[in-house]
Structure 1
Amino acid sequence: MKRLALGLIIITSLLAACSNGTDVTTSQGEKATGVTDTSIKIGAWLPLTGGVAAHGILQQTGMNAYFEMINDNGGVNGKKIEWIVEDNAFDPQKTVAAARKLVERDKVFAVVGSNGTAQSAATFPYLLDQAKVPFLPGQGGANDWWNPVKPNLFGVQVVYENQAQALGHWAAKEGAKNIVVVHSDPAAFINVAKAVEPGVNTISKEASVNLLPVKFGTSDYAPIGLEIANKKPDAVVAILAVEELIAFSKALNRQNLDLPIYTYAPNVSNDTLELGGKAIEGLRAMSYTVPPTIDTPEVEEYREALKKYEPSAHPDFQSLYMWGVAKVFVEAINQVDGPLTRESFVQSLKSMENFENGIIPPVNFSEGDHMGVKELQPVMVENGEWNTVGDFIDPDKEW
């Protein structure tokens, strides 16, 4: 009888602990970090200050609106999502500090959403190798992230090198023979800029491609505009942050240079339209998502949630993309078979096949391929608006 009473006391204590929101323990005795009977705690880092804060703030609104909507509808399998966002100011050292804070102090289950290639990569030795925390990035990525496969890293953003390859292909396809690639000088930007030429070569072996590096954070692009005028290109590919893309486009405009400009997905946003004005008319770009203005049930749901949970924000490609990332995370949680642990979550991601979400292309992961999306949507600024140019394309295939 004493043993029975003691057993009941232990069971009652465990139930009370769970009801108070403490970490859930699986039947195998494994501690499910960041998961309780009522919540799932996840983290992210975004540049909410600094030179690319416009991107970070937009991305935060999209993912936050999705999680708020999910929580208002009862959460994921009865668990509310607690999303903790740290400002990394687009700085690698601050990003590492943010990762340690999220893992060691906040005890997050996973990192979902981020911004920055070099910034996020700086966390890998700690986050992936040491702490072994699942990471589903937002914006950022490079080819060496995915080959060889990193066990806890999964992504849905087409890498920047493939985007640059698609831009080079597009410029050559439209007849460009002398292409200048204007890019910021950090290594991550240089690697992307170098990928333009292979894309050009898929169309023309005779076309020339020249790289023009610019110090990251440059605000006065007048000398660059003059240098472009002297080079006499017939197309320009810009691998620059959005504020610098705008300054560059206006510098070309002042030189009366009517050149087609091609840029990558981070610059597809309303900010580009509003800040660039007439200077970016005709701008070509690659987008991660369908336009945030189309009338489909999935995009309408996004617009309604944004209106409710982020009333000061306007529909935008950047926030829509992060909404799509959040949908992938929730789908993986929904598909977990058995107790929710980091291991079961990773297994769920690896088995995700053809997940249609209506925002980004269908997502497919496997044991040997953790890059879940391969396609991009070409878009172009026409009459002050982003319009699609054809359907989604795969940069590695003929289009």
Structure 2
Amino acid sequence: MKTIAMTLAAFLASTMLAHAADPGVSDTEIKIGDVNIMTGPAAFVGKGFALGTKIAAGLINSKGGVNGRKITVITEDDGYIPARSFQALTKLIEVDEIFALNGTSGTANVMAMMPLIEENNIPTVVSQAPAEIVYKPVRASVFTFGASYEDAFYAQLKYIHEKNPSTDAVWGIIRQDDDFGKEVEAGYDRAVKEFGVKDGIRLRFKKGTTNFSAEAAQMKAAGITVLANGGIFAGAGNILAEARKLDIPLQPAEVWSEGIPASARLLAPAGYDFLVGDYVSLTGPANDKFVEMAKQFVSEDELKDISRYTYASFIGLTSLAAAMEKCGQELTRQCTIDNLKTLKDFDTMGLSAPVSFDNPEQHSGTAVAVYQYMAKDGKFEERVPFQQY
């Protein structure tokens, strides 16, 4: 009897160990964390992103969840401040006990959180700021969705050159003096060398700069006609506004952040039909279908906040859920990570190229489409479909 009791106890102990769940998982729920920009000047970015996570969770839960477990999203505001990003994720891990992470804020923000992500082996999809520094070197639990800034600018400049290969064109770049700006300039430099165009000027500015009158005067003096505009949000708008004051005949190429309605409105007064390179669709049947689907899960007021960041976060969470589903009832972080590593050609409803993380960098969504904002109509039009660059 003693032997039987000991055997039974060992069996029960091994069974309990086998079914011991990672944090954030119960029989009925999976907790997903979202660190985002919910306050401050860039709050419209975070709100659009959080909306995509909400829509994805609503859609997944309406179909029964992930193997019967419903997704609960817990959002923490970092105000776009890296130190607050670290604090927010600490709270999500220690207090809320999240299972995985979908919202990671900006580039500096996700890098501030990286030690916590790696230490806790948290399955993480980065789709808000897919900078090269995030996936080089590769981190075991981190999967990046989105093209590089280098490819996004190269794609736009290639389109400009092929559409109008004028020998009189003079190219220039203005960009932030940071890692983000370096990636923008890498795309510009690649295009200049490949197409043999005249490189008229290269300007840098500190993040937070608001007055670009001196820079515009330098662009005017250099005769710039094609501009790689490495400003963001109000900064990008201020650069074009100063150029317009001097009647500089520009074809601007912009960061994908200027592809959202709020940003476009900041740039529109300058009157330039600017370009945007993006790894998610900005217009077309896929976007229309998405909005119709989203009406089931968000209010009419929230629909107004849908942006390119909404599509990116929706793709991030649905791809994460696809990996979790393959784990069946034995859902663990490591199983989810292993399944993300083999994810291939995941359908994004046409909002981007299919997602595949089965590569050494665990990086997907690298195809870029080029769009042009028509200032007169206030709408984006596709110029080049998704392509690899």
With the shorter chain as reference, the TM-score category is 0.7 to 0.9
Cross-structure match for 1:387: 381
Cross-structure match for 1:20: none
- Partners of 1:341 and 1:168 in 2: CA distance: 44
- Partners of 1:137 and 1:390 in 2: CA distance: 25
- Partners of 2:339 and 2:51 in 1: CA distance: 26
Stretch moving more, 364-373 or 82-91: 364-373
Choose from 232, 235, 251 the match for 2:226: 235
> Is 1:305 the counterpart of 2:294 in the alignment?
yes
Which amino acid in the other structure matches residue 151 of structure 2?
N
Instruction: Report if aligned partners of 2:208, 2:235 keep a CA contact under 8 Å in 1.
Output: yes
> Is 1:274 the counterpart of 2:268 in the alignment?
no
Cα distance change of structure 1 residues 66 and 37 upon mapping to structure 2, 3 Å threshold: same
- Partners of 1:367 and 1:272 in 2: CA distance: 33
Instruction: Report if aligned partners of 1:273, 1:385 keep a CA contact under 8 Å in 2.
Output: no
> Is 1:197 the counterpart of 2:189 in the alignment?
yes
Aligned-pair distance for 1:318? 2.5
Which amino acid in the other structure matches residue 188 of structure 1?
F
Structure 1 unaligned runs (5+)?
15-24
Per-residue displacement from partner, 1:127-177 (whole Å, max 9, x unpaired)? 21x222121012113224323321111011112232233334334444374
Aligned-pair distance for 1:68? 2.4
Cross-structure match for 1:187: 179
Cross-structure match for 2:156: 167
Cross-structure match for 2:70: 80
Per-residue displacement from partner, 1:350-379 (whole Å, max 9, x unpaired)? 111111222111111225230022201110
User: Per the alignment, in what secondary structure is the counterpart of residue 95 of structure 1?
Assistant: helix
Percent sequence identity over matched residues? 20
- Partners of 2:200 and 2:74 in 1: CA distance: 43
Cross-structure match for 2:125: 136
User: Per the alignment, in what secondary structure is the counterpart of residue 384 of structure 2?
Assistant: coil
> Is 1:93 the counterpart of 2:83 in the alignment?
yes
- Partners of 1:145 and 1:322 in 2: CA distance: 17
Instruction: Report if aligned partners of 1:34, 1:108 keep a CA contact under 8 Å in 2.
Output: yes
Q: For 1:367-382, what aligned pairs fall within 5 Å after superposition?
A: 368-382=360-374
Aligned-pair distance for 1:262? 0.1
- Which structure has the higher relative contact order (CA within 8 Å, separation 6+)? 2
Aligned-pair distance for 1:73? 3.8
- Partners of 2:235 and 2:359 in 1: CA distance: 39
Instruction: Report if aligned partners of 1:281, 1:384 keep a CA contact under 8 Å in 2.
Output: no
Question: How many pairs does the alignment contain?
Answer: 376
Instruction: Report if aligned partners of 1:280, 1:381 keep a CA contact under 8 Å in 2.
Output: no
Stretch moving more, 157-166 or 349-358: 157-166
Instruction: Report if aligned partners of 1:167, 1:199 keep a CA contact under 8 Å in 2.
Output: no
Which amino acid in the other structure matches residue 195 of structure 1?
G
Per-residue displacement from partner, 1:290-319 (whole Å, max 9, x unpaired)? 234x234x7414433147414213243232
Instruction: Report if aligned partners of 2:273, 2:372 keep a CA contact under 8 Å in 1.
Output: yes
Cross-structure match for 1:359: 351
Cross-structure match for 1:149: 138
Choose from 195, 205, 209 the match for 1:218: 209
- Partners of 1:308 and 1:41 in 2: CA distance: 18
> Is 1:39 the counterpart of 2:29 in the alignment?
yes
- Partners of 2:201 and 2:246 in 1: CA distance: 20
> Is 1:340 the counterpart of 2:331 in the alignment?
yes
Which amino acid in the other structure matches residue 324 of structure 1?
I
Which amino acid in the other structure matches residue 245 of structure 2?
R
Which amino acid in the other structure matches residue 157 of structure 1?
G
- Partners of 2:184 and 2:250 in 1: CA distance: 21
Per-residue displacement from partner, 1:8-67 (whole Å, max 9, x unpaired)? 9xx9xx9xxxxxxxxxx9762543211111111011211122332221121112221221
User: Per the alignment, in what secondary structure is the counterpart of residue 355 of structure 1?
Assistant: coil
- Partners of 1:369 and 1:305 in 2: CA distance: 32
Cα distance change of structure 1 residues 284 and 270 upon mapping to structure 2, 3 Å threshold: same
Instruction: Report if aligned partners of 2:102, 2:317 keep a CA contact under 8 Å in 1.
Output: yes
Stretch moving more, 270-279 or 364-373: 270-279
- Partners of 2:50 and 2:215 in 1: CA distance: 33
TM-score (normalizing by structure 1): 0.85
Cross-structure match for 2:317: 326
- Partners of 2:200 and 2:331 in 1: CA distance: 50
TM-score (normalizing by structure 2): 0.87
Which amino acid in the other structure matches residue 147 of structure 2?
V
Per-residue displacement from partner, 1:223-260 (whole Å, max 9, x unpaired)? 33223222221211111212211222222122212200
Instruction: Report if aligned partners of 1:221, 1:248 keep a CA contact under 8 Å in 2.
Output: yes
- Partners of 2:318 and 2:152 in 1: CA distance: 23
Instruction: Report if aligned partners of 1:302, 1:323 keep a CA contact under 8 Å in 2.
Output: no
User: Per the alignment, in what secondary structure is the counterpart of residue 75 of structure 1?
Assistant: coil
Aligned-pair distance for 1:342? 0.4
Cα distance change of structure 1 residues 72 and 237 upon mapping to structure 2, 3 Å threshold: same
Cα distance change of structure 1 residues 94 and 280 upon mapping to structure 2, 3 Å threshold: farther
- Partners of 1:310 and 1:362 in 2: CA distance: 28
Which amino acid in the other structure matches residue 387 of structure 2?
I
Which amino acid in the other structure matches residue 261 of structure 1?
P
User: Per the alignment, in what secondary structure is the counterpart of residue 103 of structure 2?
Assistant: strand
Structure 2 unaligned runs (5+)?
none
Instruction: Report if aligned partners of 2:130, 2:145 keep a CA contact under 8 Å in 1.
Output: no
Following superposition, which runs of at least 4 residues in structure 1 exceed 6 angstroms of deviation?
Answer: 1-4
